Amino acid sequence: MNSKTVGVIGAGAWGTGFAQALARGGHKVELWALESEVVDSINNEHENKKFLPGFKLSENITASSDIEKVATKKDFLILASPSLYLASTVKKLVTIPNIADGDTFIGVLTKGFVPTKKGAKLCLETIENVLPGIYKGNTVYISGPSHAEEVAMGKLTGLIAASENPKNTIIFRELMRVPGIVAYSSLDVVGVQVCAAVKNVIAIVYGICDAISQDSDTFGDNSESLLLAAGLNEIQQLGFAMGATHAETFTSIAGVGDLDVTCKSKYGRNRRFGQDIINKNILSKFKNLDDLIARVNEVGYLPEGAIACKYVYEISERLGLKLVICDGLYKILNCEIEPEDFLRDLLRLKKRVKK
């Protein structure tokens, strides 16, 4: 594919890392950032010191705090806003001529569920209800085991482009044909999105288990693998209940691949949050899960799984599902049960973990 112009809406770690990968492949990328210091850092020092420090960014990357400028006259637009703000961000784009006319291809990096008055929705459903009708069934969801730091370094990473429109999955796959990225296509838009959202929930529980296992005669590596496998089963159960179409989605990089790296990588914010629940008693400053979500900036980083957990709980209740791990984390974050008690009950143990 020849060099393309790309706007990335959201200059967090993942948006910046993805922009760096595209720029490495010769594409011209403009990032939108809400924070003026991020814009200045990228434009003047070629580094996102706030969200992706330590990585020299390509000369092909510029930044702006003008969202309309970033989205205007672009071949591709990539949405990388946090799930809480995705819908409100997209509403700012709909009148831009190349968006209003459907001339720009739109992809989504955001992982999680989007809160609406009618309950939690998946990302593509949410933005397609806001965008001009021409985008219905034509937006693309991008996911896979892809920590921003390694993507920025150019380390080999696999990504999946999922859409109801098979032609658009190929178009995005070609866009991502850059050094360090191996891209695949999928038509299972629901399954891929559910995997991307719920793996963050499982990763928090994995982090809790990992922290407890450091001083435990009960939990260890075997326990964590047991938890990962059980978590994947819950992701698959919810995925099919919501309309996933392909079983192989959950055994692909979108499913087990992304879950594995999110649970185990040193870069994982959700795993870190789970560890901080045990090691730093980070939940003590919050009254319940709603308070945590309202004040999530006080955590110092964004654990998307904590937000997704609320919506997984609501969806599973609505669909009549019993998701033991996800439900347990909801009660932990809602300050209803203790993490150690939950893990012991989950594995039907009688012996307490060492203090």
Which residues are tagged catalytic?
A: 199
Q: How far is the C-alpha of 186 from the C-alpha of 68, rounded, in Å?
A: 30
With beta carbons less than 8 A apart as the criterion, state whether 269 and 301 touch.
Answer: yes
Q: Give the pairing type, strands 76-79 and 157-162.
A: unpaired
Q: How far is the C-alpha of 279 from the C-alpha of 220, rounded, in Å?
A: 17
DSSP structural state of residue 96: S
